Structure 1
Amino acid sequence: MLIDSVEVVAVDTGGPCEAGDPWQAVLVRADGAVGCFGPVDELPAAVVAARLGASAVGWPVTDHRGLVRHLFAQLGQHRAGLGSWAVGVLDCAVWDLHGVLAERPVARLLTEEPVAGRVPVYASWLSLDLRSDDAEGAVRRTAGQGFAFTKWAVRAAGESARSIAALAGRASAWAGGPVAIDALGTWDAALGRAVARALPEGAVRWVEDPLPETDCQEYRRLHDEKSPLPVAFGERVTSAVGARRLLSGCRPAAFTFDVAWCGGITEALRLLDLARVASVPVHLHGRALVPAVHLAAAFPQVAGAVEYQLVWESRRQRALAHPLKPDDGHIALPDRPGLGLTLRWL
């Protein structure tokens, strides 16, 4: 079965779009069937429409590795960043088409082992200011919904190491257990070392992306300190080559790559294998939630709780007729063929 066509279409978002809302989808057709992935952001959708879609036409639907190599070759030196994201959204659409044609969920195409029917998720709420008056109530309510754990943002914003550590400790106390912290690349190495020394014991699972760049040497120094900072990284990873170098040089507390940003399900399989060999816990980034749920269901021994972005995911899923919503800290694996996406159309 060969790919007949690739197109980018607009979808119904169920309400007015705000800045940054994704509103497009990638459709792939073969043998009278349609695969899709969405909603997709405007920039990667434009790359698929202008450069990658035509290159995929005529390619065998089931040759995922060959297609991804072919698509990356079309991008040349522009494969990182936006390029890998565009390849990723197209790859996810092709996997959906493969599942539709095979009449099986993607998770059951990925492994011969039994798959998990429910996938644990953790909640992230990065727009909440932990200094605000309503922060305590928001953290307590979120932590009480059965999530594996919660994640909160603590930007540097001129704060001292002691104040950052105090915020993290406060969030942990409100949540009733260790929390993950996302620094959003706003710290430097000196601040990271100082925070590590000031953190209350057992308050933090990891600090995600403390540094502006995923610098293996700097992260190794943070890890080797007498008071090491538990670091998570991965969402900036755009190739298995880069992931191999990172994981061999410094072992993170969590590897948090994004299924779409890294080049799609096909590349994510390679990253999961690298993480398994390195014995590094994987917690998939939540931007590409639906394919992340399929991967975590297929490989629960490698991939732990998937990120559920409380504010942003509810907006993205307005485009879906059957949104994936957490229930007692878990999301049920869709039992429909492919990724199980049903998009609302304009």
Structure 2
Amino acid sequence: MDPADAVIDRVQVERLDESVAGPWKAGDSRFAVVVEAGEVNGVFAPVDELPAALVATRLGQSALRHPVADHTGLLRRLLAELGPHAAGLGRWAVGALDCAVWDLHGRLADLPVAALLSDRPAPRVPVYASWLSLDLAAESAAESVKATAGEGFAFTKWALRGAEAAEMMLLAERAAKWAGDSVAVDALGAWGHLRTMEVAPLLTPETVRWVEDPLARTDRTAYTHLHEQAKGLRIAFGERLSHVDDARALLEHCRPEAFTFDAVWCGGITEARGWLGAAHDVGVPVHLHGRAFLPAVHLAAAFPDAAGAVEYQVVWEPRRQQALCGTLQPDGGHVALPDRPGLGMEVRR
């Protein structure tokens, strides 16, 4: 079937079979979004229950009979269907459906998604490692950081939460020493303005390459204020944003060290292209969030001038890949772009 002639015949949500994709643990995503044209299926998995339910009960119906290759038109239709509820969970659901349609398009065209996005996608994509559940104050932390950094990742990222400012500085310095390089720090939205102002003068570029999400909300006013007051602090944000206009305004006014949005949470591969362009226009490096690792790899391969190293979540990503036949594992700080059609990985169903 020619992709130009194909329309979406069916959209369904399937619960993944625990006997082949499990065993499940708390927090695991357990659903797949399946899109069909003729006798060809496109699939995106794993997906959490709430966005999967929104696809099953509302968005899937809106996608029926839409041309498979008209990704921009489908995105507009889905966002219009959600109306004022398009932020947050709505964007996540749209993103999951969008990725399934891209997988379908690639299978129909017999091309990887990255090759649909670009004439010359990169064969390999750099990745960085994040391990946000590791307690840097634990006795075993030194070995864990050294072992992770020793695998050749572009760099590493670690979480710093509720410690006092001086202790956070010490932990960051230790992590950088163990890693043998500066590290990224994720504040998980928990620092707030005052704590960030306390910590900012204590962190040097030689130790910390950026502090990600120091504020609970990615708000233009709050981050502009922080940018003006905490001069020299390298900040990253992006995964908590829902609209490209908000993203563009923040990028222009705050000029973060890195833009770390998620390729599914933002609304999918189609929407992500605009976000990459917005960051590229103002010269802000993009390091795609690792929750949607497979779509992020295709985007980074298609647009290597706009997207740098992709986040590889060393604890969670191997668990998510249990839902896939085969694995997409980093090797020497890079991951190979799948060369099979679509997203390139079969889902265990």
Give the TM-score taking structure 1 as reference length: 0.97
1:2 aligns with 2:7: yes
Give the distance between the partners of 1:180 and 1:240, measured in 2 at CA.
Answer: 24
Q: Once the two structures are superposed, what CA deviation does each residue of 1:114-172 show, in whole Å capped at 9, x if it has no partner?
A: 111111100000000000000000000000000000000001x2x22111111111100
Residue 187 of structure 1 corresponds to 191
Q: Which of 103, 107, 112 is matched with 1:105 structurally?
A: 112
Secondary structure of the residue that 2:236 maps to in structure 1? Answer: strand
Any stretches of 5+ residues in structure 2 without a counterpart?
1-5
1:50-65 aligned at under 5 Å gives the runs: 50-65=57-72
Give the distance between the partners of 1:47 and 1:217, measured in 2 at CA.
Answer: 32
Residue 292 of structure 2 corresponds to 288
Q: Once the two structures are superposed, what CA deviation does each residue of 1:246-295 show, in whole Å capped at 9, x if it has no partner?
A: 11221110000000000000000000010110110000000000000000
Secondary structure of the residue that 1:186 maps to in structure 2? Answer: coil
Give the distance between the partners of 1:59 and 1:199, measured in 2 at CA.
Answer: 51
Q: Which of 28, 34, 39 is matched with 2:35 structurally?
A: 28
Secondary structure of the residue that 1:146 maps to in structure 2? Answer: coil
1:75 aligns with 2:75: no
User: Identity percentage over the alignment?
Assistant: 60
Letter in 1 for 2:136: L
Q: Which of 136, 144, 163 is matched with 1:138 structurally?
A: 144
1:151 aligns with 2:157: yes
Q: How many residues align?
A: 342
1:125 aligns with 2:144: no
Moved over 4 A (4+): none
CA contact (8 A) 1:45 1:86 kept: yes
Q: Report the alpha carbon displacement of residue 218 of structure 1 after superposing the two structures with TM.
A: 2.5
Q: Report the alpha carbon displacement of residue 189 of structure 1 after superposing the two structures with TM.
A: 1.1
Q: Once the two structures are superposed, what CA deviation does each residue of 1:174-206 show, in whole Å capped at 9, x if it has no partner?
A: 100110000001101121122111114410110
Letter in 1 for 2:258: A
Give the distance between the partners of 2:210 and 2:260, measured in 1 at CA.
Answer: 11
CA contact (8 A) 1:220 1:250 kept: yes
Residue 211 of structure 1 corresponds to 215
Give the distance between the partners of 1:235 and 1:247, measured in 2 at CA.
Answer: 13
1:18 aligns with 2:39: no
1:306-317 aligned at under 5 Å gives the runs: 306-317=310-321
After TM superposition, the structure 1 stretch with the greater mean CA deviation from structure 2, 303-312 or 222-231, is 222-231
1:263-278 aligned at under 5 Å gives the runs: 263-278=267-282
CA contact (8 A) 1:192 1:229 kept: no
1:156-305 aligned at under 5 Å gives the runs: 157=162, 159-225=163-229, 227-305=231-309
Give the TM-score taking structure 2 as reference length: 0.96
Give the distance between the partners of 1:115 and 1:99, measured in 2 at CA.
Answer: 14
Secondary structure of the residue that 1:295 maps to in structure 2? Answer: helix
Secondary structure of the residue that 1:47 maps to in structure 2? Answer: helix
Q: Once the two structures are superposed, what CA deviation does each residue of 1:310-340 show, in whole Å capped at 9, x if it has no partner?
A: 0011111001002111111111100000001
Q: Report the alpha carbon displacement of residue 221 of structure 1 after superposing the two structures with TM.
A: 3.0
Residue 342 of structure 1 corresponds to 346
Q: Report the alpha carbon displacement of residue 222 of structure 1 after superposing the two structures with TM.
A: 2.8
Give the distance between the partners of 2:310 and 2:16, measured in 1 at CA.
Answer: 25
